[in-house]
Amino acid sequence: MGSQTGKKALELGVGTGRVAIELARAGVSVWGIDNSTFMLNVLGRN
């Protein structure tokens, strides 16, 4: 993906954070929301 430092992203339905984590590794500032408390807890462990 290359460096994406300084860019921002909003992921709707973040789930386990698979995409959000990869974006963050590339330097993107990521905000994710999900209506499932269970999935947000899973994301917190990732």
What are residue 4's phi and psi, to 5 degrees? -120, 25
What are residue 45's phi and psi, to 5 degrees? -80, -20
For 10-30, the pLDDT digits (tens) are 999 999 999 999 999 999 999
Model's pTM, two decimal places? 0.76
User: What is the Cα–Cα distance from 2 to 17, expressed in whole angstroms?
Assistant: 19
Question: How sure is the predictor about 43, in pLDDT bands with cuts at 50, 70 and 90?
Answer: confident
